Structure 1
């Protein structure tokens, strides 16, 4: 059945509250969560879910929030999970976020008051053309907004309230999972899949209204270690072979057509993310991305070939390369469970939007959850310009995300 036409949305107020809580994760931390402050938001989310009526809502010691909406149907319906992450990116400050609502947006460039040089221009953010008459939320110009992924959190919590307030909307058991540390690649490291007990899921962490994503990059990490020859610099002629300089030559020799700044669509890349070392030894850490697993191996071979060619000029130097699997294209899982994507498309259509099936040039918690037994495509939350001071979201897009979640619950019950 369709959601009642006049829902009393709470998503805006929830979102405005969530973004003021600093939840930035830390890739250098060895703890889970990587920053204790993520639990501050987790505690608030638990309180709100309990207030709505999700009686088992709780925060565990690792910073994960779990909750359940019991089924209100006699049908045997698969258990569906909705997941969003609580942390914000380390790429841009998330402290002292001051959200601003630009009501009844009319296509103008948005100048942010605390950072006048930070301008959200219509010609640089083409999705703004679809927001005419909507209420656009930004930060004030000195921080990111946190719509990635607090828009998803707010949409899920609001959807929980709608389902509790409207028992005429029939659904099976619904599970809620809010994760820490997604932005640093550890979002489901400590997720208790047995406790979660879901059959299928949806991350609510996508961009434009109407989009659903069932394909991601496959991803590997590569660590290249270069062994040089160190001697006293005053007596180094003909002897020293600096690992630092070798590293520089390797980076300069990488193919430009395999760099992220020169690729788009279904093209993969090799991306050096850090360089460390001294004369005797240096390391370069890469991320390798492509939509086909076999191409990851080809990209790793390019690193080996380039390094080998450079080292021909440094006969006493050597190298090793270590490849580590990070995640795989989740479409491999959805090919076995097409209904998960099909129901998502139908829910978006029922919410009054034109569904758009997309691929992600990146990964989500859903990438790994899908290979942990929980097929989990990604549904839009309305977030844009992630990880930057230009981040924005519209209230109306978040409301459509709420509608989509509620429709999904109804569709799974109908189809069972």
Structure 2
């Protein structure tokens, strides 16, 4: 069994967010066949545990690897194409699903090698397989995280970076929001009888700074829905979006900006009988690693021993399951979000390479044996 065989197998198991049962069952069978202890968690999630083999290891560490089983759309009936240079893509009609199945496949290969005693010495290991990471309510928050014993975690889920030795040092907080602008409908021939929800929308958005609203902070409206017919004045319009920032202060300011825009619109005389409801949902809290910590320095050492020029640190406004483990109120696990060797993710042009898949396996094996 090699990494390409496992990767192509799981990529062809459809697992768009919210439809992960098939791949979860596949992984559970994979673990059972190798006599690996595991528990099925809520939302088809899985926690697997492997005790340490401590020959020649002076101090046993407790380490976690995590990957999400779901993909974005379009992710059904994926056809894999591998060119003569080892570049792996889909046919162009779907995503490839390398996000996050490149990491997922490497975790399974690592488990397979350990079960066959091909890796003689390793630390105590926990493997976490999550679902719904790609949508607004990631299932990782429903895991029985208190059952995990790990001190450190590794998630290979940072894409689109040229250097495989990249790690996220600062991740932004992300909040989603919905807005309902409710006016009063009327026939298009009698607009004076209406409270036009579209006019409310225009006024609301004009009070906001979209895009890069504050330093290292963004505000975006991604969904707009409304109207009933071409010959009616729209009575209700719904918006949905998100805002992100490294700074808790700016996260608070953006929320205040949304509330201020709400009050400004409703204070206008023509909208006095209208209503605006805003709902804000925390997607994930940000985190900052101490790049001078022993764990960070050890990670740098691991990559250096593999021939890389240490590690490259970066800030990101993208979310990952790492935020949950870094901010859990009962069981904080210092978790690194690392490069997964994938590019153009969330598009039908997504790609990775056989070489990058093999590099991830090399890095994972180095961590479990020599951390």
* TM norm. shorter chain > 0.5: yes
1:302 equivalent in structure 2: 257
**Partner of residue 160 from structure 1, selected from 106, 111, 117:** 111
Alpha-carbon deviation of 1:16? 0.9
Instruction: Tell me what 1:411 maps to.
Output: 370
- Give distance in 2, aligned partners of 1:200 and 1:70: 15
Give SS of 1:377's match.
strand
User: CA, structure 1 residues 352+49, in 2 after alignment: closer, same or farther (shift >3 Å)?
Assistant: farther
Which stretch of structure 1 is more off in the superposition, 76-85 or 12-21?
Answer: 76-85
Paired residues for 1:40-51 under 5 Å: 40-51=22-33
Q: 2:80 matched to 1:99?
A: yes
Q: Out of 200, 205, 210, which is 1:246 matched to? A: 200
Please say if residues 79 and 200 of structure 1, whose CA atoms lie closer than 8 Å, have aligned partners that are also in contact: yes
2:230 corresponding residue in structure 1? none
The answer as to whether partners of 1:217 and 1:361 remain within 8 angstroms in 2 is: yes
What are the Cα deviations for residues 207-261 of structure 1, in whole angstroms up to 9, with x where unaligned? 2411111321111223333342445655542x422223311443355435537xx
Alignment pair present for 1:368 and 2:327: no
- Tell whether the 8 Å contact from 2:113 to 2:119 is kept in structure 1 after alignment: no
Aligned residues: 353
Q: Does 2:173 match 1:187?
A: no
Matched, 1:351 2:351: no
Residue of structure 2 aligned with 1:270, choices 219, 234, 237: 219
User: Shift of the alpha carbon at 1:345?
Assistant: 2.5
Does the 8 Å contact 2:221/2:241 carry over to 1? yes
Shift in Å, 1:184: 0.8
Q: What's the TM-score, normalizing by structure 1?
A: 0.76
| Structure 2: distance between partners of 1:293 and 1:315 | 33
Q: Identify unmatched segments of 5+ residues in structure 1.
A: 1-8, 26-33, 105-134
Residue 210 of structure 2 contacts residue 218 of structure 2 at CA under 8 Å; is this kept in 1? no
- In structure 2, relative to structure 1, the CA distance for the partners of 1:337 and 1:171 (3 Å cut) is farther
Q: Deviations over 1:145-204 (max 9, x none)?
A: 000010010111222334455566532210111111111141303212133332221112
Moved over 6 A (4+): none
Q: 2:51 pairs with 70, 95, 111, which one?
A: 70
Structure 2, unpaired ranges of 5+? 228-233
Secondary structure class of the residue paired with 1:295: helix
RMSD: 2.7
Richer in strand (by share): 2
Report what 2:276 is aligned to: 319
Distance 1:95 1:224 in 2: 31
Q: 1:48 to 1:369 in 2, by over 3 A?
A: same
